[in-house]
Structures are given as structure tokens and as C-alpha cells.
């Protein structure tokens, strides 16, 4: 199994999926990213609870290698609440957006996450290590971009 990136909001503060999807469409259009969404799950009241959202920097039909897909969930959703023993805030976070394996597409991931955190600056990004990335961290990374950014602690990025 590969590494995934997770966009977190404090529990109870995530963006409702019906609001998030149109904003993601606008964000991708602004950033020049191709996008689509599919695999929708609704609850018993017909409310959207989950979907898959895919992005690419080339037309989707042209290259499957340049696609990056995310699962987007509406809070509450089973097994999407998490806390970290290394996080001194002791907050519970909701995993609102979770990427699939991104190896080889670190640049697309960064472009998407940078735009996302500019749109929702209270969100944090967790990439399966003992740290988060914030918007300020991503701004520093952008200033001296390195394709290995997502494998380095924000403390090590100057």
C-alpha cells in the first residue's frame, strides 16, 4: 500500500460535502486541473455522504498515470475521526479528503493542496508521518519547491 495525503478539519468544523464539491470544481478550474467526480454514496435521507473526486494536469483520457483521486466524506462518516498521540493539541480531526497513492504525482498533489488550503486555511494536511502541513508550511515549500516536499517534516523546510 502506498502513501496517501489526508486533509483534516477539527471535528465538527469540516466543510459540508454539498458545499465542498462546487468549491473544488471552481478551485480546479482556476488552477487548470482537469477533474471529475463519481462513486457517490448517499444516506437514508438522500443526503450525499461520500464521493470520489479525481484530478489531473492532463485530460483524464490521455494519461491514467497523471491522475490523483480523493475520497471526500461528509461529517459524520464512519471511521473518519482521528487523533494523534504526537499532536499536543489532543484535538479530534475529521478526515474530509483522503488521496489515493500519489507516488510520481507529488507536483499535482502540491498544486491541489496549496490551492485547497488557500481556500480553507483552517485545514491541515497529514501525510502519514508525525507532523501536519499548514498553509504557512505550503507557502514556504512553494518558495523553494522540491518534489520530495511531502516526505520531509515542515520543520526541515526552510
Residue 158: inside a domain = no
Q: What is the domain count for the chain?
A: 1
CATH number of 85's domain: 3.30.310
pLDDT tens, residue by residue, 120-141: 999 999 999 999 999 999 999 9
Instruction: Write the DSSP assignment of 18-42 as a string of letters.
Output: HHHHHHHHHHHHHHT-EEEEEEEEE
Closest C-alpha to 24, from 128, 105, 99, 126: 99
What is the per-residue pLDDT for 1? 45
What is the per-residue pLDDT for 63? 82
pTM of the model: 0.94
Residue 156: inside a domain = no
Q: How confident is the model at residue 158 (pLDDT cuts 50, 70, 90)?
A: low
For residue 40, CA distances in Å to 8, 47, 110 come to 20, 10, 25
**Percent of the chain residues past pLDDT 90, beyond the cut:** 84
Amino acid at each position: 500500500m502506498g502513501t496517501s495525503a489526508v486533509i483534516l478539519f477539527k471535528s465538527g468544523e469540516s466543510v459540508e460535502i454539498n458545499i465542498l464539491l462546487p468549491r473544488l470544481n471552481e478551485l480546479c478550474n482556476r488552477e487548470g486541473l482537469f477533474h471529475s467526480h463519481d462513486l457517490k454514496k448517499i444516506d437514508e435521507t438522500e443526503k450525499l455522504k461520500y464521493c470520489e473526486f479525481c484530478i489531473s494536469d492532463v485530460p483524464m483520457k490521455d494519461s491514467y498515470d497523471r491522475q490523483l483521486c480523493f475520497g471526500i466524506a461528509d461529517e459524520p462518516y464512519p471511521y473518519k475521526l482521528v487523533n494523534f498521540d504526537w499532536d499536543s493539541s489532543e484535538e479530534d480531526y475529521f478526515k474530509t479528503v483522503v488521496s489515493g497513492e500519489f507516488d510520481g504525482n507529488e507536483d499535482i498533489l502540491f498544486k491541489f493542496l496549496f490551492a485547497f488550503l488557500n481556500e480553507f486555511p483552517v485545514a491541515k494536511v497529514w501525510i502519514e508521518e508525525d507532523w501536519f502541513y499548514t498553509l504557512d508550511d505550503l507557502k514556504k515549500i512553494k518558495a523553494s519547491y522540491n518534489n520530495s516536499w511531502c516526505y520531509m517534516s515542515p520543520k526541515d523546510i526552510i
